[in-house]
Structure 1
């Protein structure tokens, strides 16, 4: 007599848990609260287990690779010690902008989407243009949506690739695993710049593209499905974010500035807005100087 091989419920549960931790999570969604509230999210701690490494953890928690690295500078990203405690940077201040449409703050490598129907914001890690090929600052709209986009390298890309490798790229790459755009793309206005997926896991939350904005496949699919054409898009450069939370707490968040966008470390200190916010309290500046020297991207409360 044949006996059917029934799957154990424990095996099914184990497979479900495994899938949860091997697939990137969807965007983190935060309630916005009042218009005066800018602090959202909360940092969590991760205890390192065997096999953990930064890229895997960045995907697991859907945070940027460089954000994870900056928040945990004392740890080797490829040789993590079992039992070590890592900060998952999921607490942040909203940029100083109108809460509308898509906002991409380049220094923090994050994309914010403000839901028009709900008082919520969706936050995604993104990859942006590398040094010398910066993602441009702009105010525009989603001008086009493409599923299974064809990748056609620009003439500048062809020339760079030839100079570096001695051969030209293919004139076009159809949809599929070799397409650098992934499965979905959103065009910024009528420009050559896109918000798109990727055929590589590495590079999200880093400066790695030729100027376009890269996202995890699940994240760009969500945007493609939920963000309509003509949604407003602003690409901004705010390495320092500040807030008087509840009228009493002084909070500040400092990211590594993008020097090729005419912002230097010295400018961070010398901005008038930052001087007004921090004031002349010596203890505050003593607290901030190490962070200005080596930004970690975490929200800090100024305290005497």
Structure 2
């Protein structure tokens, strides 16, 4: 990757759901000649844990924790089961500035501004991307506004799909637990493109 990468959103029902309180990991930013951040870890599952629960607690996506633990039951790992946490990441080959999204990795990297004398930091979140039939574009753009409690205006194609499944959607979905944009959204420089939350945090890190 050689540019800032932002994923498309509900204009094509392509989700990038990143802003989950438990979902962030912040570490010191290494030098320009080093792209590795974080360290791989392990934890032990409790009786009530699912891999999705453990992933959210440690800033991981569903797919990456599942792939790191072949042979472990996704929904019932079992009390005392050792779970690998893939919390070591390779920074995208892109400018270390603003927001960069590695689409293939399903992970967002945020490079916050650094004050004089401070150690630069990198904050990373697992994200979800668009379904296979809606190709997530690789683009460079900017955040033009931030919205709390956004209203979702599902496109015609999505409303037709839901209607065919017996689950019709209104023209506008107000803020609340049924709104797939979650509690926050950032509008991008391309019309109908967003970075937003989610009402289904268990799906973070999936396509």
User: Is the structural similarity TM-score above 0.5?
Assistant: yes
Distance in structure 1 (CA, Å) of the matches to 2:201 and 2:90: 27
Structure 1, unaligned runs of 5 or more: 1-22, 208-304
Structure 2, unaligned runs of 5 or more: 1-19
Contact 1:24–1:60, Cα closer than 8 Å, also in 2: no
In our comparison, the structure showing a higher alpha carbon Rg is: 1
Distance in structure 2 (CA, Å) of the matches to 1:123 and 1:76: 26
Runs of 4+ in 1 over 4 A off after TM superposition: none
Count matched residues: 184
Helix, strand or coil: the match of 1:129?
Answer: coil
Q: Could you tell me which of 116, 124, 140 is aligned with 2:113?
A: 116
Contact 2:61–2:206, Cα closer than 8 Å, also in 1: yes
Q: Could you tell me which of 28, 32, 44 is aligned with 1:35?
A: 32
Asked if 1:80 is matched to 2:81, the reply is: no
Distance in structure 1 (CA, Å) of the matches to 2:147 and 2:60: 25
Distance 1:81 1:178, change over 3 A: closer
Q: Could you tell me which of 91, 94, 97 is aligned with 1:97?
A: 94
Distance in structure 2 (CA, Å) of the matches to 1:187 and 1:59: 25
Alignment match, 1:239: none
Helix, strand or coil: the match of 1:128?
Answer: coil
Contact 1:140–1:188, Cα closer than 8 Å, also in 2: yes
Helix, strand or coil: the match of 1:140?
Answer: coil
Asked if 1:175 is matched to 2:175, the reply is: yes
Distance in structure 2 (CA, Å) of the matches to 1:57 and 1:148: 27
Helix, strand or coil: the match of 1:29?
Answer: strand
What does 1:1-304 align with in structure 2 at a 5 Å threshold?
A: 25=22, 27-117=24-114, 119-163=120-164, 165-166=165-166, 168-207=168-207
Distance in structure 1 (CA, Å) of the matches to 2:29 and 2:84: 23
Task: Pick the structure with more helix per residue.
Answer: 1
Cα RMSD after superposing both structures: 1.7
